[in-house]
C-alpha cells in the first residue's frame, strides 16, 4: 500500500474545507513570511501591501506601482504586474544575497578515502548539511549570526 499525505485545505473566502492526497508535500514559507511594513509607510495615502499578506481587492492595472525589495517574491510580482501597470518602480536597499558555490577539485587522497572508507562521505555530507543549515540564522534580526554578518533586515 502506498502512503499518501492527507492535506486538508481551508478556503477563507467560502469557509469550505477539502482534503487532497499527495505523494510529496514541500513546505517553503521562506524566512521573510511575516509582514514587516516600515512605520515610514504609514504616511502613504495609497494601499500598502506585503507579499505575505496579499490583498486581492487592490487593482494595479493602469496604476503607478512601487515595489520595495528585490527578493524572490519581488521578482515574481514584477513579472506578473509589469504588463498591466502604467509605471513600475523597483527599489532595493542592497543587492540580493548569493552564496557562492564551491567547486573544489578534490585531491586524489580525498577521492580514495571517499571511495574506500565506509561512511566517511556520509559524515562529510552531514557536516556540510549542518553548516549550510546555519546560514538561515543570519536572517533572524539581532541573532548572533545576524550581528556577525553586520546585516540589518
DSSP 69-114: --SHHHHHHHHHHTTT-SEEEEE-SSPPP-PPPP-PPPPHHHHHHH
pTM above 0.75, yes or no: no
The low-confidence residues of the chain, meaning pLDDT below 70, are 1-2, 28-32, 96-99, 149-153
pLDDT in tens, 20-63: 888 888 776 666 677 778 888 888 888 998 888 888 898 889 99
- Residues with Cβ < 8 Å from 5, sequence gap 6 or more? 21, 22, 23, 24, 25
Rounded to a whole number, what is the distance in angstroms from the first to the last CA of the chain? 47
pLDDT of residue 43: 87
pLDDT at 117: 93
What integer pLDDT is reported at residue 153 of this predicted model?
47
pLDDT at residue number 82: 93
Amino acid at each position: 500500500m502506498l502512503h499518501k499525505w492527507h492535506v486538508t485545505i481551508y478556503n477563507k473566502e467560502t469557509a469550505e474545507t477539502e482534503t487532497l492526497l499527495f505523494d510529496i508535500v514541500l513546505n517553503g514559507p521562506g524566512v521573510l513570511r511575516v509582514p514587516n511594513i516600515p512605520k515610514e509607510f504609514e504616511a502613504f495615502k495609497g494601499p500598502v501591501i506585503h507579499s505575505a499578506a496579499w490583498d486581492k481587492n487592490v487593482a494595479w492595472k493602469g496604476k503607478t506601482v512601487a515595489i520595495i525589495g528585490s527578493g524572490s517574491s519581488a521578482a515574481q510580482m514584477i513579472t506578473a504586474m509589469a504588463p498591466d501597470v502604467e509605471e513600475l518602480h523597483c527599489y532595493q536597499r542592497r543587492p540580493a544575497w548569493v552564496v557562492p558555490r564551491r567547486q573544489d577539485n578534490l585531491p586524489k587522497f580525498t577521492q580514495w578515502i571517499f571511495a574506500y572508507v565506509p561512511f566517511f562521505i556520509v559524515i562529510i555530507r552531514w557536516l556540510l548539511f549542518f553548516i549550510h543549515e546555519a546560514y538561515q540564522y543570519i536572517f533572524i534580526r539581532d541573532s548572533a549570526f545576524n550581528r556577525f554578518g553586520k546585516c540589518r533586515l
